Every structure is written in C-alpha cells, then in structure tokens.
A and B are shown apart, each in its own frame.
Chain A
C-alpha cells in the first residue's frame, strides 16, 4: 500500500506521489489483464483465432489507474482521509464538525441517487443509494445503542438472540404462512437453514480439532462420510432406524478418528495436514471402489427419515403417523420442520459439549497443546492421548452430522464427500476465528447461506443485463471475502479468546497472543 500522508508534504508533492503510484498500478493491471481481458479466443470455420479487445482492456486499466489515483488523493495521501468519518461510525470516538458534514453529504447524495434512480428506472443508482444508506443507518443505530447502553454484554445478547431466533424461526414462519398466506418459500427456506445448520455443526466439530487442539485436519470430510455410510448401511441392510444408528455412526466415526490419530501423532503442522488430506481421499476412494458393500459410485438410496418418537412423517392413512397421532392434516413441510429441529438440536449439543469440554482439564490440555506441546509434556500431560481425544471428539460430531446428512438426503454417494467439503468446513473455522464458537456460527451462515442467497439476486440482472447469473460469481466473491479477511481480520471474525477460568474478572485475550496450532 502506498505511503501514508506525511504532514510536511505540499499538495504538489502529494499529487506527484499519487500519480506515480497510479501509473505503476496501471502497468501491473495492464500486465495482468492483457491476456485475461485483452484477447478472446473465437471459434471460426478456419479454427480457433484470437480476437483483440483493446476497448475492454483500456476500460479495465483505466478503472485501476483512476481508482488508485482517487484513493491516493482522497484516502492514503490525504491529510483528512475521506473514509475517517465512516470508520468512526463503528468506533466510539467523538465526531468532528467535518465528519458530520461528510456523513450528511453522503446521506443526501445516496438518498438523491435512490430517488432519481426510482424516477428514471435505473436500478444501478437505486442499488448504490440503498447500499450507502443502509451502511450509514447501521452505523448510526450502532452509535445510538452504544451511547445509551455502553456496558451491555453484546456477545451474550447476540448469542442468546441467535439461538432464540433459530428455535422460533420455523414455527413462527410456518404459523404466519398458515394464518396470512404470505406466499413465503417455506420449503426452500427450511432446506437452506438445514444446510446452514449442518455446516455450523461441522464447523463446531472441526473447531475442536483445529481451533482448540491446533491440529490442522484437511480430511475432516472422512468422518462425515464414515458417519453417513455407517448409518446408510445399517439402515438399508438391517432396517435400523435413525435414532438407533445415530450413536453407532458417531462412535464409528470416533473410532476412525482414533485409527487415523495413531499414525499421525508424530507429525506436526504441514505434514499432519498432508496426511489427513490423504486419509480423507483414501476414505472417498474406498467408498467409490468397494462396490459390493458401498455400491460404488451409484451410492445408497432409500435411506429412511427420522421418526418422531416412533411416529413416521408419511401420508399413509391407517397406520400410526405423526399427523394422524396429533390429528393434523398431513403436509410434507412437517417432516422438514422436524429435520430442522433435529439438526438444530445436534448442533447445539455439539456447542454445549465443546463449551463444557473447554472448562474441563482435557479441554485446557487441548489448548495448552496448541500453545506449546513441549511445555505440555514437561507438565506431565500425555500429548498422545490428548491428541487422540481431540481427534475422536471432533470425529464423533463429524459422524453425527454425517448420519444426519444421509437421512436428510435419503441418498448418498462418494460424490458428496470430496475434498472441497473439507476445505469449506476448514474455511468456516478459519474465517470464524479459530476456537471461537460464535465466530464459526457466523462464518457458516455467511459462507453457506450468503453464497446461496447470491442465487436469488434477480434484481442484479436489471443492472448487469439479462444474461447475468450471480451464482457464477460465487467463487470470485468467495476469494474476495478470503482476501478481505486476511487483510483486515487475519485472526478471523471473532479475534479474541475467552479464558476458561477466572479469579476476578474475565477479559478477552487478544488472538495476537494465541498460537495458531503448530502441534
């Protein structure tokens, strides 16, 4: 990043520095874009030919040069960076007069954009206006709340509010829909929430291994797969139900965690990551090739749904079902709401167990091992067993989530357990802030729910044209989000650790002090 403003510099010197910086950025942009945007392969009768696109290239480079110049003049080189008042909205510093002027102007201009956009039907204006206004509104509301209630336990309110919302959301939205016929896409909403909650649970499970014990595990999906297949095979071959198989699947995954744990115990850091990655792939390839048992790439279908204390969710009249027992009219959505509560319960159990384990000696030993393995051994802690318990506990929850996945889908195949799943779960843990339960939950909602929401931004098509498909840009946005986190919050969304025991007063520990697992 360019050098920040030095007080002694004249405007001329600053302009010179800004121009030099912008031109260098332009060169780099040209070098990057000349092949990516500058030429396009065209399939002609004579064969594949290159068609130059100088206009597009010039626009891209121009945007970089002018953007960089403006940023330099207004932010980096400026004596009063234009971003200061906006940043100040999210701190508790006092506002200066010029801050208020800038914020007022921004609010006025964005409101104007919104109105003008509405009149001349330009969605782009409306979008920009709405975004800026929304940002300002959030900041102002935050300042007002913090001003009047400076000492509220915000993290706790956030947690309790989140859990209350998760518990009430399906019932409330279902009843609302029943009463008023709002036309909410309930089925879709519930399916998406179930998916998000599955990843929340997986994130919390992996958090034990990576966040607390500091063992970098790139093959977590193996435990997920073991849980799913154990349940699917027991259910299809022996006719066992979901609730019977759930603990068996969890224990099988935990056992697999111990089996995996033994050979990798002597490895550290990168080597451990590589070996766990290999184990994840081994599991998937075995599932793919052991056709007599796993049915290979065709997978296992007709996996039963969970029952409500023995009452199935089915339309069959005559036999005892959930709807006939409670005298309700059968609706398929009842089964989905039940699935939602099952995964919510499983996820909350994972969270509760983790929170309790952190306060037990074994949890403290995990964290101590992440901080310094040698010191642990000098204090009489058996690090072999400590690592094994971390692997086994993480794997247990992975297995539980796996058997839930199998029962929800009704069909599983090795396709569902590829490396990208492990990568997404690990990304959730890293983005959330390793070891932080709240951060992991937020990261799972953003990563899974947020990117799913991108599929449904039809409004954007009125800006970028009919052919625009926002879902295609998911990976790009994913990458941008990752880079953003690395730059602004390298320790994750929640960047502090709370102590497990206090004498007088609990203070969050900055993550800068916390080791990131070299064990």
Chain B
C-alpha cells in the first residue's frame, strides 16, 4: 500500500517534469523560429534594422533564462544548438549589414 503510494508519487513527479521539459523545449524552439524569421525579414527588407536589434535582445534574454532553468540540460542537444545558432545568425546579419550568413 505504502509502496503503491510512493510509486504514484514518483510517477507524478516524473511526468510533471517531463511536461516542464516539453514546455521549455517548446519555448526554445519558438525563439529559434523567431530569430530565424527576423533574419529572413531583415534580408527581405520587411522589417527595419531597429526591430532586428530588439529581437536579438529578446531572444538572447530568453536563451539566458532557459539556460538558467533545470530543464536546460535535459533538452535535446540539437534544440539547444539551433537556438544559439539562430541568435548568432541574427547577430551576424545585424553586424555586417547586407551580407547574410545563411549558408551554413
């Protein structure tokens, strides 16, 4: 009886942290997509440079917040890498102006 209770408790704890990991991954991927969409928009001229700067800042802040969380280590490696790369691409575009580094 006590064992069953303990098992249930552990399972609940595991599943809720699985949910947290999924949520964190979701947010990270959303920011990756945002950074990429912004880089593309900048290249297409559909947003001004000043907007690119804002997204770069916001994405970087989101990345730092994600890294500070416990779930960061449990995220798939490619998810983490893609966010960092997307921010770098955006950064690079803003720094160099017209030339993009989309061919990676």
The finding on whether chains A and B are genuine partners in a shared complex, rather than unrelated, reads no
